[in-house]
Amino acid sequence: MTGTSERTLLTRLMLLSIAAALVTITMKTVAWRLTGSVGLLSDAVESLVNLLAAIVGLTMVRWATRPPDEEHVFGHEKAEYFAAGAEGMFILGAAASIAYVAVQRLLNPAGLESVGLGLAVSVGASLVNLGVAMTLIRAGRRHHSITIEADGRHLMTDVVTSAGVVIGVIAVAISGWHPLDPIVAIAVALNIVFTGVRLIRRSGAGLMDRSLPPEELALIETALAPYRKDGIAFRALMTRRSGRRSFVSLAVLAPSDWTIARGHELLERIERDIVAALPQAAVATHLEPSAAVSKKKRLIVRNRTRRGSPRKR
């Protein structure tokens, strides 16, 4: 997939997320107005956060998929980490507002109205989120987009919390214990705090050039294994993730009697094999003489010199 087509696809996915957020905000607001449930209100607030996060994500995805330029020779992929961090901050803000409203309702309990119709509308909104969330998570993994995947996981969290809210409202309607409604809302707030903190930590790790995860390092080692069997050694392997792209650098130790052309051909094959294992990787290699080969060659030269030197009488 070319950069332009990939950018178009990721843009459409974020537009889908924005459309889903608008639909679910409307439906969940209707559900809250019908029932008066603070739990359903918290659900609607979280959908508002989804909308803000999707708008920021759209901006960052379009920026991150721009090709490298003179000022950004390594590309713009790190912009996605800002989107994930911003989404995490939005989530924490939503959690604080939900908790505030829930505590107020806990201090001043109120009954619920039109529970059946309100819950039907809320369940419909959750089904919309579920479909969009599964689409975004799959696409985010396929294209290594932290923004798309983070938005999908946030929507999936919204689905889970919505299910908890629905169960809580049903329990309130059956038991008549009204404080349960704000308690459910507080539980929703705590749950999305966990999601927000996780997104912020992931964003920070990306901005700090964290090494590739173990499963991707294993793919690199698998690509290098055939060369090790042929006597080629490697050192100074360094990796980092930048949005959708991976960066790999390493030194390749080849026999010191090789020609430049032969060494260059070896580097090209190694880089090609690593990219085949990690399609989004940018690989930089450096050729060095093998210390073992150089030492062996020095011993041969020294022995020849000794054999050719005149004997002392």
Give the distance from CA 207 to its chain's centroid. 12
Q: From its phi and psi, is residue 309 left (phi > 0), alpha (psi between -120 and 50) or beta?
A: beta
pLDDT digits (tens, 9 = 90+) for 49-78: 778 878 877 887 777 667 777 777 666 667
Domain boundary pick from 190, 207, 224: 207
Q: Do 234 and 192 belong together in one domain?
A: no
On whether both 138 and 237 belong to a single domain, the answer is no
Q: Which two tokens stand for residue 311?
A: 């004997």
Q: Closest Cα to residue 53, out of 121, 127, 148, 118?
A: 148
Strand pairing category for 245-254 and 281-289:
parallel
CA-nearest of 191, 199, 188, 119 to 152 is 199
Distance of alpha carbon 135 from alpha carbon 125, whole angstroms: 16
Of 88, 91, 67, the residue nearest 244 (C-alpha):
67
> For residues 122 and 38, is the Cβ–Cβ distance under 8 A?
no
Q: Which of 185, 207, 229 is the last residue of a domain?
A: 207
Task: Report the mean per-residue pLDDT for the chain.
Answer: 80
253 forms beta bridges with 233, 288
pLDDT greater at residue 55 or residue 2: 55
pLDDT of residue 244: 66
CATH code, domain carrying 38? 1.20.1510.10
**313 lies in a domain?**
no
Q: Which domain holds residue 296?
A: 214-308
Same-domain status, 94 and 166: yes
Q: Which of 105, 127, 124 is nearest to 37 (CA)?
A: 105
- Taking only the tens place, the pLDDT of each residue in 138-178 is 888 887 777 788 778 878 878 877 887 888 888 888 888 88
pLDDT in tens, 238-252: 998 776 678 899 999
Domain termination residue (choose one: 166, 184, 207):
207
Task: Provide the pLDDT for residue 300.
Answer: 42
221 and 75 in one domain?
no
* pLDDT exceeds 60 at position 128: yes
pLDDT band at 98 (very low <50, low <70, confident <90, very high): confident
pTM: 0.60
Q: Give the Cα separation of 3 and 280 in Å (integer).
A: 11
Residues 198 and 220 in one domain: no
Return the H-helix or E-strand segment holding 224.
helix 214-229
CB 44 within 8 A of CB 25: yes
225 CB burial (10 A radius; 0-12, 13-18, 19+): exposed
Q: Which H, E and C letters describe 73-87, residue by residue? A: CCCCCCHHHHHHHHH
Same domain, 127 and 9: yes
Count how many domains the chain has. Answer: 2
* Per-residue pLDDT, 277: 92
Q: Which residue has better confidence, 217 or 211?
A: 217
**pLDDT grade for 268, boundaries at 50, 70 and 90:** very high
Contact 256, 293 (CB under 8 A): yes
